[in-house]
């Protein structure tokens, strides 16, 4: 028997700045729901806390700091982030928001440098990586063993 825990995908909480919004809804490993089959958007995004805020890692593009955003009138909770990656002569802005357990991400990719020509747009849906734990491990933890 197994249980699935999305919460386990979220890194342990660390204190943020006293006035910073709660970013926990954004944290974790996120998989593109199309599994790369459509070659649209990054295959995987990892959102994690850092000493200075939040970082986003995209498979093949590396890790960059992110800006987190709250919704209007809800300053205590972050529901969105943006992050800019430079890769392969391109600049990609990933803009994502969390809604009902999924992460909806758009990418805007434009050429670096001369800025000539149009860019490319994608919109992808991500779900959290669910880790599988055996129940007896949970029982042991509850027993304090």
Partner 1 sequence: MTAAGTDLTGLIGGWVNFDTAAAGIRLVDAAEDGGRLALSVAEDRPGGPRTRSALFATPLMDAGGEGPAVGFLAEGRLGPGDAVLCGYLNRGLLTIDVHTVTPGAPDVPPVMYRAHYYRPAPAQPAEPPEGAPSP
- Residues of this chain that interact with partner 1 (CB under 8 A) are 19, 21, 38-40, 67-72, 75, 79-80, 82, 93, 95, 97, 106, 108-110, 115-123
Q: What Cα–Cα distance (Å) separates residue 144 from each residue in 73, 132, 136, 138, 140? A: 42, 20, 12, 10, 6
Q: Nearest distance from residue 21's CB to partner 1, in Å?
A: 6
Closer CB to partner 1, 90 or 129, in the complex:
90
User: Of 52, 58, 109, 47, which Cα lies nearest the Cα of 80?
Assistant: 47
Decide whether 121 or 141 has the Cβ nearer to partner 1. 121
Minimum CB distance to partner 1, residue 100 (Å)? 14
Residue 140: CB minimum distance to partner 1, A: 41
Q: How far is the CB of 66 from partner 1 (least distance, A)?
A: 10
CB 105 within 8 A of CB 126: yes
**What is the dihedral sign for C-alpha 51, 22, 24, 91?**
negative
């Amino acid at each position: 028997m197994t249980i699935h825990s999305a919460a386990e995908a979220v890194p342990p909480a660390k204190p943020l700045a006293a006035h910073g919004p709660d970013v926990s809804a954004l944290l974790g490993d996120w998989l593109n729901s199309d599994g790369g089959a459509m070659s649209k958007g990054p295959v995987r995004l990892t959102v994690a806390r850092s000493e200075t805020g939040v970082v986003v890692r995209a498979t093949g593009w590396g890790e960059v700091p992110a800006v987190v955003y709250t919704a209007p009138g809800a300053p205590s909770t972050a529901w969105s982030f943006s992050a800019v990656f430079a890769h392969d002569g391109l600049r990609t802005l990933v803009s994502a928001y969390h809604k009902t357990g999924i992460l909806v991400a758009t990418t805007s990719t434009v050429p670096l440098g001369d800025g000539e020509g149009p860019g490319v747009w994608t919109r992808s849906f991500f779900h959290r990586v669910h880790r599988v734990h055996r129940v007896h491990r949970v029982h042991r933890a509850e027993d304090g063993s």
